[in-house]
Chain A
Amino acid sequence: MVTRPFRPFFTCFPNSVLSVRTSVFCLLNSVFFLLTSFFLLLSSGLSCQELFPTSEPASTVPKGVLGVRLFNESYQEVSQIRNATTLRLMYGLFSKLTVMANFTETNHHSTDFPPGLAYHTHNGNQSIYSTGNFQRGLPYPYLFSGIDLYAKYRFLTHDGMQRHLRMSVYGEWSNVNVAHDEAEPNLLEDTKGYGGGLIVTTLYNHLAVSFTTGFILPGKYEGFSPDIYGGPLVPTDLTYGKAWKYDLSFGYLLFPAHYTNYKQANLNVYLEFKGVSYEEAQVIQYGFKNLPIHTPLLEAGNYVDVYPGIQTILKSNLRIDLSVGLPLYNQSYAHFYPVYMLGIQRYFYLKKKS
């Protein structure tokens, strides 16, 4: 198992152990940590925005408005750069109901499980079944992972002058079908299934705070594993762990301090905490052999990542955001660190103004 521990900036400089490339990644991490710290100091008495780069706010898309968002998540897994690119279409079906369709392509996984994930060996007449720490960083092709459909209904709205409190419930369905090989589910990129939850967002002057909590009930992936004795591929079903997620997001409007017109560019900074707790996965081969779990990748786990981010909004419509995910408490085995996210979004007003 290869992990990429976070280093303080003063240990980042190139030396006999660290290559120049690793140093650059390391320094970028440190810069974002400094940005995070600066943000925390700053946000104590100022105000902000709620178009979070990685989380959905409780607010909904206005009726008849189509939003198009393209975003990419990247991280380095050993020597491979993993990418997940998503096209999101958002539509305000009613003033309180937003529907979304996400189409994702990734190179996270193949259609079969990697060698070493699930196997058995013979010792005389005895068979030993196991799951192991398989090799990470294998090259995989870009695959269309599937479609994720999402609906959000805003049921509470308290609006005031430069402040509001909104609450929404959401539901999600995904048919994503790739050979995801970790217990942690992810309906957008890696696992099929259902999800749902609650979003609470409040805005006060320039500061927005949002809390999202929800569940994920993932489906299983019916795939194949290589046979270590050279036989045909072994049917392998991997049922991912049920998960509970809890995200806390802060957003702050840096510029402009006061609007003079709506064409002014916005500059927002964000700090998002994304937590997940998930159950152990279940691996079944040959239809009935329940394999013991001997790898942390398939064990139950929980972690919190932090995503500091920056965003600009041009002409009150075109939104560009960049954020970086770093481990704060434990770590995810479903991705390596740092996770770079880049997104671009625009709204199209389909209903003609009368």
Chain B
Amino acid sequence: MKKIFFILLFLPLAWEFSSCCKGGTGGKASLNCTVFHHAKPIPAATVYIKYNASDFPGVDPSAYDSHITSSNTSNQVIFDNLHCGDYYLYGVGFDSALMLPVTGGIHYQIKYSDRTHAEFTAVPVTE
């Protein structure tokens, strides 16, 4: 009974700390990002990515590990060869309807079970 109690007590902790994935390159997952201002995709937007981060690194591009700019015809950018883990994505674009620059960040986690999958996410931005 004593053993069962300890298993019940420490199993959640073990589970909490055991499924660690470290975000970075060298894996088999990919992340497809589309920058949105409200419901409108923003073409020619740049998405910056910071590996192994869950908090906003800041607006300085040098704080990020990589970046990709989408073409004028496609709204998507794709980061390939990623491990499972945490990533922070920061989108920078221009809303031609408002004539204003738009920016915004989002934390994305690729789960261990999705380590070989292509993941899709929106990167919402604001003025």
Contact = CB atoms under 8 A, between A and B. Distances in A.
A101 B56 contact: no
Interface string A146-176: 0101000000000000000000000000010
A35 B9 CA distance: 39
B76 interface: no
B105 A287 contact: yes
Give the size category of A's interface with B: 20 to 34
A89 B38 contact: no
B120 to A, nearest CB: 11
Interface string B85-118: 0001010000000111001111100000000000
A233 interface: yes
Contacts of B5: 66, 89, 91
A230 to B, nearest CB: 5
Contacts of A64: 2
Given A66-B5, A286-B126, A222 B36 contact: no
A142 to B, nearest CB: 19
Contacts of A66: 1-2, 5
Main secondary structure of the interface of B (DSSP, over half): mixed
Given A89-B5, A288-B59, A230 B39 contact: yes
B54 interface: yes
A69 B13 CA distance: 21
A127 B127 CA distance: 7
B24 to A, nearest CB: 20
A127 B101 CA distance: 13
A234 interface: yes
A235 B125 CA distance: 10
A321 B12 CA distance: 29
B38 A286 contact: no
A287 B64 CA distance: 14
A106 interface: no
A286 B103 contact: yes
A4 B12 CA distance: 38
A141 interface: no
Given A222-B54, A348-B1, A175 B106 contact: no
Interface in B36-94: 36-40, 54, 56, 59, 88, 90
Interface in A306-354: 348, 350
Contacts of A230: 38-39
B14 to A, nearest CB: 12
Contacts of B88: 287
Nearest to B105: A287
A292 B114 CA distance: 37
A99 B9 contact: yes
A222 B124 contact: no
Contacts of B104: 235, 286-288
Nearest to B12: A147
Nearest to B89: A287
Interface string B1-35: 11001001100110010000000000000000000
Given A125-B100, A286-B104, A89 B9 contact: yes
Contacts of B107: 222, 235, 287
A227 B38 CA distance: 7
A286 B122 contact: no
Interface in A268-295: 284-289
A326 to B, nearest CB: 34
A287 B8 contact: no
A157 B104 CA distance: 56
Interface string A119-146: 0101001010000000000000000000
Interface in A215-237: 222, 227, 229-235
Interface of B: 1-2, 5, 8-9, 12-13, 16, 36-40, 54, 56, 59, 88, 90, 98-100, 103-107, 122, 124-127
Given A125-B99, A288-B105, 8 more contacts: A101-B9, A127-B126, A127-B127, A235-B105, A235-B106, A284-B56, A286-B106, A288-B59
Shortest 10 CB-CB contacts between residues of A and residues of B = A287-B105, A286-B104, A231-B38, A287-B56, A232-B122, A229-B38, A231-B39, A235-B106, A230-B39, A147-B12
8 contacts: A64-B2, A89-B9, A101-B8, A125-B100, A231-B39, A231-B40, A231-B122, A235-B104
